[in-house]
Copies of this chain bind each other. A is one copy, B any other.
Amino acid sequence: MKVTTQTEHFTNPLYLESGRILEPYDLTYETYGALNSDKSNVVVVCHALTGSHHAAGTYEGDIKPGWWDGMIGDGKPIDTQKYFVICVNVIGSCFGSTGPMSEMYPTSEPYRLKFPVITISDMVKAQRILFDRIGIHHAHAVIGGSMGGMQALCFAIEHPNFAKKHIVLASTYATQPWAIAFNKVAREAVIKDPAFQNGLYDPKEIRENGFPGFATGRMCGHISYLSPTSMQTKFGREYVETDGLYELFGRFQIERYLDYNGMNFVQWFDPLSFLYITKAINIFDATRNYDSLEDSLGRINSEMYLYAFKSDLLFLPEEMKKIETTLHNIGKSNLVYYEEVDSNYGHDAFLVELDKFAHSVTKALEEER
């Protein structure tokens, strides 16, 4: 599936949860499949921290498929012969939508640390504004994993009449201190590296010369995305052949893997976007503007499909379960489906072990309640 990226420019201000505004701003997105005549086949896919609008297919002349290519396409679990799929790059990110390295109008300088703190609600609000612009006022479903799941939940609570179904994977109702701690280590590693230059780094320079703290931060993220079992299966205690066991800096294969992914990350993600998006994740709390989780989830009047992953050590199954239990407690049992996917992979199972839940997601999209 060959795909192209589109960008919409908005001159009206985006009113943020913080009280600040973003103006003007861009939103970059991709669509897959065709919108049907009554516009009833829209499936919104929300991406995670380092994801992008490029969820499926490949670009002309490129070979790298989108991050959920196994899920989205003709005949795939989210079938583009049936659904019109749209995925928007979140504000704050670095793949086209306005973020901290975008020009701060009317200057031609990037915002950098002058960029406002954004929230999951802000990301969702921006998407709705984009959808309105392109004539989409309702969706069949909103689906996302991890931070994408936060967006899906936020759609359900704050935009209760927008979509009929919300599918939340490997996510939470409010980020817990355990996940905040992982982000903390990653954020500290970035901020304290002289290469960060208090936010004044030259993007080209860090790609050329490296940004060790950013790489280290990414490594920390990788721990939380995997699990003891998946690391055991992938790497065991294999040692890098050319390294000596008794060399202080000799490495295990798991270390080489982390080195590679850390260094590589600096080439394709922006440090300030990383800080802003992890901040949005940290402060995500579906109860913030409500009296309680009951009150917050009480606004939901759409079908909720919740997929937790047994070995997810970033957002624990019990956090997902709490959403289900709460919906039950407030009399919305008829709206909720909960599944704990039996996976040893860890958090990233929602990206990797599609065979474990894709069939169920297809059913969720199709079933009539």
List chain B residues, Cβ under 8 A from A18: 246
Contact A219 B184 (CB under 8 A): yes
Contact A117 B178 (CB under 8 A): no
Count residues on chain A whose CB falls below 8 Å from chain B CBs.
60
Distance to closest chain B CB from A114 (angstroms): 10
Of residues 183 through 232 on chain A, the ones whose CB sits less than 8 Å from some CB of chain B are 184-185, 188-189, 191-194, 212-213, 215-216, 219-220, 222-223, 226-228, 231-232
Contact A117 B247 (CB under 8 A): yes
Complex: chain B residue closest to A118, CB-CB: B246
A116: contacting residue among B117, B194, B216, B246, CB under 8 A = B246
A313 within 8 A of B: yes
List chain B residues, Cβ under 8 A from A313: 228, 313
Of residues 332 through 364 on chain A, the ones whose CB sits less than 8 Å from some CB of chain B are none
Segment at the B interface, from A34-42, A51-59, A279-287: A279-287
List chain B residues, Cβ under 8 A from A177: 228, 231-232, 234-237, 252-254
Contact B285 A176 (CB under 8 A): no
A330 within 8 A of B: no
Contact A192 B216 (CB under 8 A): yes
A14 within 8 A of B: no
List chain B residues, Cβ under 8 A from A228: 176-178, 313, 316
A262-275 vs B, CB cutoff 8 Å, 1 = contact: the mask equals 10000000000001
Distance to closest chain B CB from A17 (angstroms): 8
List chain B residues, Cβ under 8 A from A246: 17-20, 116-117, 283
Distance to closest chain B CB from A290 (angstroms): 14
A129 within 8 A of B: no
- Given the interface contacts A113-B248, A188-B219, does A231 sit within 8 Å of B181 by beta carbon? yes
List chain B residues, Cβ under 8 A from A258: 181, 184-185, 188
Distance to closest chain B CB from A172 (angstroms): 11
A69 within 8 A of B: no
- Most interface-central of A182, A213, A276 (chain B CB within 10 A): A213
Contact A232 B117 (CB under 8 A): no
List chain B residues, Cβ under 8 A from A103: none
Contact B237 A176 (CB under 8 A): yes
A49 within 8 A of B: no
Contact A188 B212 (CB under 8 A): yes
A1 within 8 A of B: no
A136 within 8 A of B: no
**What 5 additional pairs, Cβ within 8 angstroms, besides A177-B252, A184-B255?**
A174-B237, A177-B236, A180-B237, A188-B219, A228-B316
A residues at B contact (CB < 8 Å): 17-20, 113, 116-117, 174-178, 180-182, 184-185, 188-189, 191-194, 212-213, 215-216, 219-220, 222-223, 226-228, 231-232, 234-237, 245-249, 252-255, 258-259, 262, 275-276, 279, 282-283, 285, 313, 316
Report 20 cross-chain contacts, Cβ distance below 8 Å, ordered by A residue: A17-B246, A116-B246, A117-B247, A176-B232, A177-B232, A177-B234, A177-B237, A180-B254, A181-B222, A181-B231, A181-B254, A184-B254, A185-B216, A185-B219, A188-B212, A188-B219, A193-B193, A220-B220, A228-B313, A248-B276
